[in-house]
A and B are shown apart, each in its own frame.
Chain A
């Protein structure tokens, strides 16, 4: 292999041979350990998926999608939680996407290296990794406590704050990939800058920006912590965003800690649904942008 002794070594050949062996052994050890680490990580992912499938599949019935949550033993489903999750995630994206896209446009097209833009980029990156439970507490203090009641709307706002930085990041990155010559061509044709940005740059970066939105959906759809203090959860069918609203992750949290067989079953099936949804979005996105930023 590549571990032949260096030409400059004039030492006794036996000594240099043992040194070469030692180096080779070290390389082998590192290789084996590295294989083990990778195997372990893949094994954990496999174990999680296997556990979810094994425990979740038996509960995948039509009733799960048609009935609302009920008392243990009464054959409830998760319909209201599924719809609640879709509604809250959807509204969160509707609220977060315009802000995320505009901020991304500002960072890529206007601010670039200004001091303000650097600060915005920095803060957005901080929000990207900020503890989600703090966002929940913040919305509780800012929206729930003053209004006096939990609401699906408050949950959406909390999720929007979590979703926005992802879209800021991808929008900026993708706009930076649009070649300068396209902007120049647009300007040369007499288009104002805002038109060039919206109808040439954003259009060219469309795929990447949609990717960002999808990743944001995948991220917030599984969030539990920020919803605990905002939309609270609701065991009844409700489409009213001004009232407490059920969501799949919160329902899983409530059921997983219970001692009832059927609630446990629904928790596993709910967990399977959330995980499959999130992973499928991620796989689609990652296959779509092979080689792009992860």
Chain B
């Protein structure tokens, strides 16, 4: 009974499904492709909107916008040099601190740690990356800034204040906020992603290379320094550049500890501003259509250009490192 009623029905079901596939497949493929192209468009539109938004500022100040360090809402005169300097300087400081930390941690995770501990600490490091930016800001402001103002800065002044070359670096009142504090916070924030990249490329090295180096009698440090590091150079540099890209766009944490002041100076302790912190701080006081808002947009466009070029470089390096790893 059952078989006789279903038998004739089956071909029609199959047919219906088949015809469904004929329309369904191209449709689904087109949909998938369209969303992919949509992603491309999002980036394109972001770039276009930022550039258009900044045009009034570039028109008003010309190329001088890039080189002027003035930011004066009263006289309606704005320039990008101070925040651009602050962005580059704080990111550079952050990298200077983060790279040794990340390298040490990656070395520990891949070569020194007992396996059980390695996975737990590895996870803790990645959790650090998940902590929201604003939390780093609060922690930095309430935990890091007071000791910077009371101990680090006076000590640094006491030690280096009389040395001609270094005195400029430690000049200024002990606020605790400033470039160095921002660099410290940035270092903590970008360190996990650099560590993750380093650990991945270290681990991806064929074990034979590592083992043969140990077989020749190399110490763990020598294996790292003379075998692993040269082998994974491109990936490591890619990870560092990625960290730099992240540092330059970091907003909330820096806003808390940078001190909000637009000037260019060599002091590590002087309050400063990055592009991102300036945008976050000044935006609420910038009415729509004003020259100030246009200047902020122009700054945003500059930040976008800097960080996308950096991220592009990092992707290229990482991709090349991966391709090389595949080849060997």
A interface list, Cβ under 8 A from B:
1-6, 23-24, 26-27, 29-31, 33-38, 40-42, 44-45, 47-48, 51-52, 55, 98-99, 102-103, 105-107, 109-111, 116-117, 119-120, 122-127, 129-135, 137-138, 141-142, 145, 161, 164-165, 168, 190-195, 197, 218-219, 221-225, 228-229, 249, 252-253, 256, 267-268, 271, 274-275, 278-279, 282-283, 286, 290, 294
- Distance A243 CA – B217 CA, assembled complex (angstroms): 69
**Contact: A106 with B221, CB < 8 Å?**
no
**Contact: A126 with B315, CB < 8 Å?**
yes
**Contact: B132 with A23, CB < 8 Å?**
no
Interchain CB contact (< 8 A) of A120 among B28, B39, B280: B39
Contact status of A3 and B219, CB under 8 A, knowing A34-B108, A44-B128, A141-B49: yes
Interchain CB contact (< 8 A) of A274 among B43, B135, B136: B135
**Contact: B105 with A192, CB < 8 Å?**
no
Query: Mind listing 7 A-B residue pairs with CB under 8 Å?
Result: A6-B217, A126-B315, A127-B39, A129-B242, A129-B249, A141-B50, A194-B21
Closest B residue, CB atoms, query A194: B28
- Distance A221 CA – B131 CA, assembled complex (angstroms): 11
What does the 1/0 interface line of B20-46 toward A look like (CB < 8 Å)? 111011011101110111111011011
Interface SS of chain B: helix, strand, loop or mixed?
A: helix
Question: Which residues of chain B from 273 to 325 have any CB-CB distance to chain A below 8 Å in the complex?
Answer: 276, 279-280, 283-284, 288, 296-297, 300, 303-304, 307-308, 311-312, 315
**Contact: B138 with A34, CB < 8 Å?**
no
**Contact: B304 with A195, CB < 8 Å?**
no
Interface segment out of the listed B66-74, B118-126, B263-271: B118-126
Return chain B residues, CB-CB under 8 Å to A44.
Answer: 128, 188
Interchain CB contact (< 8 A) of B14 among A190, A253, A256: A190
- Distance A99 CA – B34 CA, assembled complex (angstroms): 10
In the complex, the number of residue pairs spanning A and B with C-beta atoms less than 8 Å apart equals 283
6 other A-B residue contacts (CB within 8 Å) besides A129-B249, A130-B46, A134-B303: A31-B221, A37-B101, A37-B105, A110-B32, A117-B36, A190-B17
CB distance from B202 to the nearest CB of A (A): 12
Task: Kindly name the residue among A1, A24, A42 whose own CB sees the greatest number of chain B CB atoms within 10 A.
Answer: A42
Return chain A residues, CB-CB under 8 Å to B77.
Answer: none
Closest A residue, CB atoms, query B220: A27
Question: Which residues of chain B from 106 to 141 have any CB-CB distance to chain A below 8 Å in the complex?
Answer: 107-109, 112-113, 119, 121, 123-128, 130-139, 141
Return chain A residues, CB-CB under 8 Å to B18.
Answer: 190, 192
Interchain CB contact (< 8 A) of A126 among B43, B53, B225: B43
Interchain CB contact (< 8 A) of A124 among B39, B45, B252: B39
Closest A residue, CB atoms, query B312: A126
CB distance from A193 to the nearest CB of B (A): 5
Return chain B residues, CB-CB under 8 Å to A124.
Answer: 39
